[in-house]
Amino acid sequence: MPDDDVDRRQVLRGLASAGAGALVAGMAAATAFDAGHDPPDGRADEPRPDWIVPDSDPTADRREYDYIVIGSGAGGAPVAANLAERGFQVLVVEAGPGTIAEIPYSVPAFHLFASSDPALSWDFYVRHYTDTAQHGTTWVKERQGVLYPRASTLGGCTAHHAMLTMYPENQDWDDIAALTGDPSWNSFAMRRHFERVRSWLPIEFAPPALLLRDRTVARLVGAAALETGTVTRGLGQGVDLNRFAVAGLDLDPNDAAHVDAFHEGMFMIPQSTRDGRRYSTRTRLLQVAAGHPGRLALQTDALVERVTLDRGHDGTLRATGIELRRGRHLYEASPMSGGHPGERRQVRARREVIVAGGAFNSPQLLMLSGIGPSDHLRSKRVPVALDLPGVGGNLQDRYEISVVSRFDRDFEIVKGATFGHPGDPLLRQWRRGTGFPSYDSNGIIAGIKKRFSRGSAHPELFVFGSPSRFEGYAPGFAAKGVAEPDYFTWAVLRGYTHNDLGTVRLRSADPAAVPDINFRYFGDGRAGDADLDAICEGVELARRINGRATSLRWTDAARATEVFPGPGRTGRDELKAFIRKQAWGHHASCSNPIGSRGSRRAVVDSRFRVHGVQGLRVVDASVFPSIPGLFPVLAVYMIAEKASEDILRDAAVAAGAAGGAAL
């Protein structure tokens, strides 16, 4: 049936009602945020602001806790909160500050500027290849790397990420269960941990009104629905779309029916927001700390330099605590680094130390503590406590590329937006909870799950669109995204990549020094054909959607010209060469992988315990053997819930052996 014959109102109303949503570019101006020109008089029933954290220095007076959790992001925060709720005394140590600016942190549409806020960002510069010449235009010669933004504040990277919260594939969990022989990892068991996450994590969808605000956006979303078969899957002719939309399930990618059936096509974008405001793990921590005074201590502005270890008479190695240094912006990745370090302190853990610093900093901390490849540690003059070769190896990431087009008119949904500059009317509306909800979402108008033609039965690609300009991470990436309101970006994310050659290695024994990070993309430039073919399929889909949008005649919308990769790159060979140069990632994982003690690459067991060390666990994205799903944050939340259960079970066993009772 010709596209013209598809009822325009039926398709668009159905998509909008189901919440496919549209929104402004998820970016805002890097400077001059309107923080003081319109006092945040607040929305109805607004809780205490979570961007304000009273100054706290608990280790100044208290040097012993049941558990010490290093890191407050997606892995560490849920563990700390759960342990405190069960009655244990828990210290969370965060290198970054507690209090941060409301803008850009809280505004979903400003997430890329949260990523570039110097007060909370850690700017790593990483290698994609060993050979510098293989890098593209995002290579920064002065820093000898490509910008890789991370966050350092209470909440970790959940304070700056794009808030996409998507359930992984069942096979991800079943593979870990098979690898470890531990049935508690199977997909059926792990679904229970998702329900635990949902007990504290709100998930919303983009305001559906955004879709109908802009005819150009409506055309693009309609073309995506038609091109991917979403109309025939759930929005077909003869279906009562309004009644169907009330169910609100067919376009929810986290619905178990879709996950179980490997469904592909267009979906709504689940985002971790509440009433149009970012919800991060800092909120979870602050709520538990307020509800359980004295149990959960939050130590901010403190860089952990090493985990302290004791060796027993029988040779057993045990983690006993941490050594930290007080001070703001001590780590060299901070754009504001260079301050004078303060007092060095030792804090003791009566039970365990849980490392949750992420894929870069967790292996770095283990190695600084003497746990890692012995030859490498000796070369950096770090005393070897335990030769554990897998630490810092197996580093993995996604590959992403974008298809960017420039239209012949501005997008209506960003009309009037100044993205945080003084007098921004949309920011004023967002603060008051009135007017059009342009800033209530994360910038994505549509997301498409797609299988790779030579891949698994489940989707391995995610193609998502935003009225913005994004061509990779480079200094100034956020401001560039909203400088001109006539750009549209389809980002192509390749999940389930086949490259595990990346490494995190120490540059020196200085805890403040940034490690040497090399992802070795595409087999360090010598392989990667399957991944490249998959990315090409995603790019080709984005181009087909753009072409179909142009051909639709039931809307009067703008015309566009592709600017990135550009119309001259149409052949597969040309496109692959471009992708090798320009691809990026921001889901670093797998650098302390789970596995059996006999494996040289394994760092932790199926209960997150570091092999060969008692009282030490790692709970973050570094423990995955391979990256789960398409966006990993929900998977990290789920393993944090699992780790909490494992830790509490071990505490109960220990209490029983001692003749007591676990709390």
pLDDT, tens digit, 9 for 90 and up, residues 607-645:
999 999 999 999 999 999 999 999 999 999 999 999 999
Assess contact for 240 and 13: CB atoms under 8 A.
Answer: no
Look at 276 and 15; give whichever has higher pLDDT: 276
% of the chain with per-residue pLDDT over 70: 88
Give the pLDDT of residue 528. 87
Give the pLDDT of residue 414. 83
Give the pLDDT confidence of 236-269 residue by residue, as tens digits.
Answer: 333 333 333 333 336 899 999 999 999 999 998 9
Q: Is 304 annotated as a binding residue?
A: yes
CA nearest to 564, candidates 581, 588, 587, 586: 581
Assess if residue 539 is contained within a domain. Answer: yes
- d(CA 442, CA 395) in angstroms, rounded, equals 28
What is the Cα 167 distance to its own chain's centre? 13
Q: Is the peptide bond before 104 cis (omega within 30 degrees of 0)?
A: yes
Assess contact for 230 and 224: CB atoms under 8 A.
Answer: yes
Assess if residue 456 is contained within a domain. Answer: yes
Assess if residue 663 is contained within a domain. Answer: no
- d(CA 352, CA 648) in angstroms, rounded, equals 11
Q: Is the pLDDT of residue 324 over 90?
A: yes
Give the pLDDT of residue 369. 99
Give the pLDDT of residue 210. 72
Q: Is the pLDDT of residue 38 over 50?
A: no
Q: Which residues contact 310 (CB under 8 A, 6 or more apart)?
A: 317, 318, 320
Q: Which residues contact 473 (CB under 8 A, 6 or more apart)?
A: 138, 146, 147, 148, 149, 584, 586
Task: Give the three-class secondary structure for 306.
Answer: strand
- Cβ-count burial 267-291 (b if 16+ within 10 Å, e if not): bbbbbbbeebbbbbbbbbbbbbbee
Q: How many domains does the chain have?
A: 1
Give the pLDDT confidence of 101-123 residue by residue, as tens digits.
Answer: 999 999 999 999 999 999 999 99
Residue carrying structure tokens 């200094």: 475
Assess if residue 326 is contained within a domain. Answer: yes
* pTM of the full structure: 0.92
Give the pLDDT confidence of 136-149 residue by residue, as tens digits.
Answer: 999 999 999 999 99
Q: Is the pLDDT of residue 82 over 70?
A: yes
DSSP 602-615: --B-TTSBBTT-BT
Residue 404 pairs in a beta bridge with 489, 564
Task: Give the three-class secondary structure for 148.
Answer: strand
Assess if residue 363 is contained within a domain. Answer: yes
Alpha-carbon distances, residue 141 vs 123, 124, 145, 150, 266 (angstroms): 15, 14, 7, 20, 39
Give the pLDDT of residue 28. 30
Give the pLDDT confidence of 205-223 residue by residue, as tens digits.
Answer: 977 677 777 888 888 998 9
Q: What 8-state DSSP symbol labels residue 455?
A: S
Assess if residue 633 is contained within a domain. Answer: yes
Q: What 8-state DSSP symbol labels residue 515?
A: P
Assess if residue 662 is contained within a domain. Answer: no
- d(CA 270, CA 282) in angstroms, rounded, equals 19
Range of the domain at 93: 3-657
Whichever domain contains 113, its CATH number is 3.50.50.60
Assess if residue 59 is contained within a domain. Answer: yes
Angle in degrees, CA 349, 650, 654, rounded to 5: 75
Average the pLDDT over each of 131-135, 479-483, 647-651 and give the range with the smallest value.
Answer: 479-483
